Every structure is written in structure tokens, then in C-alpha cells.
């Protein structure tokens, strides 16, 4: 009798453990607010985890936060309620980028596309900055302006050295053009190394360079006045690959914004974007096109309303197939 009771208890314990494992397995994968087919599947406090604003580029980060929140609010009827949760931990990334699904990372982030990122993550292939982020300006020491004023092509850079993070896709693009990247992974150290002459220029995104110049205005660093690199790598939302419904939700919201004109209205009125377009004189600079060795084939170059490119002669929808293949 005792043995029979023990066996029954063991069976009940195993059944309980199996139920617990099943329940926790279903809970282990955090939902992306809702699955699209059943809006009731998202709890009332459903949240997406994203990185918080960084102090120096708070205005640029706020643009992406505001855009993301707008999309979530305007797709709520179809996909369910959803709010943003912010983390200021710089080491929290999408689990897929860390090679694990065993912890809660950010659910979505925004950044420059590449084949590697589009393999690891789910890209939402609608550019978030209409190409503004593809413009790269140079930060230099003021006494060096004459060294840059006559540059027309990559060959004219000669012995000029560029600083940056070797992990950046644009660093690989510069290496493909024969540049040696002087490694400077820490954000502030890049500016100190430039000022100290460890390298000759930094390449910075048009949507962030003004904020960075203001943050380091006490350093002997200025914006180079004649050149602009054009690096046709759009910024996208990237989603954890476990959440295809979230990628669908973001694409649905962005497409609706373009169809209604809401995207352009918000884009051109946004303070950091408006300031960049007004102050950087992009249409008066000499463009140097940077071939992108890692550009995915699905990049929507031919969808003209996704782009606003004021520089002369750099309009991907006007390129022939051979040029596009070289981007």
C-alpha cells in the first residue's frame, strides 16, 4: 500500500512538474504586446523594452521613441495595447545579437542595416530617417580644414587617418577603400583622440553631429565645411526574431503613416531633423559616395517617398543596376 501511494505521489509530482514546465515555457517568451490575431492576448500593462535616451544624443533617440510610440498607439485597435519600457543599461541588447534567448533583452532597436543584422534579426525595411542618417559629416581639428578643402575622391585623402569603432559597418566600408581605422571604441575617447592628433577625422551621422559638437564645444573640434560622405545604408527598426508579429505591426504603422502623409509631417517638423537640414548645408557640400560592401539586396532604393536626399547627384532611384550593385 505504501509503495502504491508513493507511486501515485510520484505520478502527481511528475504531472505537476510537467504542467509547471509547460506553463513557464509559454511564459518564457515575452510577447510583443499582442500577436495580431488575438488582441486580448496582450495584458493591460504590456510593454516593449527599448534603450533609454542617451544624454548626448537625447534628441535623436527621442525621435525614434516618439515614432515608435506613435505607431503603437495608432495600431492598437488591430494589435492591442502596448507601451514602452526603457532601460539605461548600455549592455542590454537583443538576445539574438548575444547568441542567446535566456534573458530579457530589448525587444526592438533602431540602427543602420547590414546583411549580418538582417540575418540575425527581423528588419522592418522602411527607412526611419528618409536617408538623413546616410549622410556622414567629418569632425576635424580647425587648423586642418585646408587639408580637406581640395578633396574630391577617396584617393585624395592620402595619409589622412580616420578614427572609429572597427565593429561599425561603416568602418568596414572605409577599410574596403584602403583606410586603416584607428580604433576608438569609447564614445568620449574618440573626441579626445581626435583633439590630440591620434587620427585626423571622425565620421558622424548627420542626425547626431550637431548634438555632439555642442556636447564637446570646449574641445578644439569643428565640423568640416566642404564634404559629405553619402553612405546609403538606411536606418530601420529591428525586431527580435521571436516576434514576427511585432515586425508586422511596425511595418503596418509605418506604411499607414506614409500613405496618410503623417510620416513626412512629423519628420520635417521634428526639431533635431529640422535643425540638421537647415544648418548642415547638405546640398552645398561635395558628396563622396561610399560603396556599402554589406548592403542587403532588398534595400528599398526605388521607393522614392522613403527618401529625402538633398545632395547633388546621389539619388539611388536614378542609378542603373550596376551602380546599385556596387552600393
Strands (E) across 113-264 are located at 122-124, 135-140, 162-164, 181-183, 201-205, 222-223, 227-230, 235-239
Distance CA 320, CA 325 (A): 9
pLDDT value at position 274?
A: 93
In a domain, 85, yes or no: yes
| 214 and 281 share one domain | no
In a domain, 10, yes or no: no
pLDDT at 78 over 70: yes
pLDDT in tens, 250-297: 999 999 999 999 999 999 999 889 999 999 999 999 999 888 777 888
The answer to whether the beta carbons of residues 326 and 292 sit under 8 Å apart is no
Query: Any idea of the CA torsion for 120, 121, 125, 131, to the nearest 10 degrees?
Result: -80
Mean pLDDT of 191-220: 92
> CATH no. for residue 188?
3.40.190.10
Mean pLDDT of 89-107: 53
Total domains, the chain: 2
pLDDT value at position 254?
A: 98
Distance CA 168, CA 181 (A): 11
| 112 and 180 share one domain | no
Question: What is the overall mean pLDDT for the chain?
Answer: 80
pLDDT value at position 223?
A: 97
In a domain, 28, yes or no: no
| 300 and 241 share one domain | yes
User: CB 19: neighbour CB atoms within 10 A?
Assistant: 10
Instruction: For residue 167, count CB atoms less than 10 angstroms from its CB and return exposed for 0-12, middle for 13-18, buried for 19 or more.
Output: exposed
In a domain, 29, yes or no: no
| 171 and 317 share one domain | no
Last residue of a domain, one of 230, 264, 282: 230
pTM over 0.95: no
Last residue of a domain, one of 230, 263, 285: 230
- 3-state SS assignment for residue 123: strand
Amino acid at each position: 500500500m505504501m509503495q502504491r501511494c508513493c507511486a501515485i505521489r510520484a505520478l502527481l509530482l511528475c504531472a505537476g512538474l510537467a504542467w509547471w514546465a509547460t506553463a513557464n515555457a509559454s511564459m518564457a517568451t515575452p510577447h510583443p504586446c499582442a500577436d495580431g490575431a488575438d488582441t486580448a492576448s496582450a495584458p493591460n500593462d504590456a510593454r516593449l523594452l527599448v534603450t533609454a535616451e542617451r544624454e548626448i544624443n537625447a534628441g535623436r533617440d527621442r525621435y525614434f521613441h516618439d515614432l515608435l510610440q506613435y505607431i503603437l498607439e495608432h495600431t492598437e485597435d488591430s494589435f492591442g495595447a502596448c507601451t514602452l519600457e526603457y532601460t539605461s543599461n548600455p549592455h542590454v541588447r537583443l538576445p539574438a545579437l548575444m547568441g542567446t534567448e535566456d534573458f530579457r533583452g530589448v525587444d526592438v532597436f533602431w540602427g543602420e542595416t547590414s546583411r549580418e543584422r538582417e540575418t540575425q534579426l527581423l528588419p522592418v525595411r522602411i527607412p526611419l530617417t528618409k536617408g538623413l542618417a546616410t549622410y556622414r559629416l567629418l569632425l576635424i581639428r580647425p587648423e586642418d580644414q585646408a587639408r580637406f578643402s581640395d578633396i574630391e575622391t577617396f584617393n585624395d585623402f592620402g595619409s589622412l587617418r580616420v578614427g572609429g569603432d572597427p565593429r561599425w559597418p561603416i568602418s568596414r566600408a572605409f577599410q574596403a577603400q584602403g583606410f586603416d581605422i584607428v580604433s576608438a571604441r569609447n564614445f568620449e575617447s574618440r573626441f579626445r583622440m581626435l583633439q590630440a592628433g591620434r587620427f585626423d577625422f571622425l565620421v558622424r551621422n548627420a542626425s547626431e553631429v550637431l548634438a555632439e559638437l555642442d556636447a564637446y564645444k570646449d574641445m578644439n573640434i569643428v565640423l568640416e565645411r566642404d564634404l559629405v560622405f553619402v553612405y546609403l545604408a538606411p536606418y530601420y527598426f529591428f525586431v527580435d526574431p521571436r516576434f514576427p508579429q511585432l515586425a508586422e505591426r511596425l511595418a503596418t504603422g509605418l506604411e499607414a503613416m506614409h500613405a496618410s502623409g503623417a510620416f513626412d509631417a512629423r519628420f520635417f517638423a521634428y526639431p533635431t531633423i529640422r535643425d540638421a537640414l537647415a544648418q548642415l548645408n547638405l546640398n552645398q557640400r561635395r558628396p563622396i559616395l561610399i560603396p556599402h560592401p554589406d548592403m542587403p539586396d532588398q534595400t528599398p532604393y526605388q521607393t522614392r517617398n522613403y527618401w529625402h536626399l538633398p545632395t547633388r547627384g546621389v539619388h539611388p532611384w536614378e542609378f542603373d543596376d550596376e551602380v546599385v550593385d556596387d552600393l
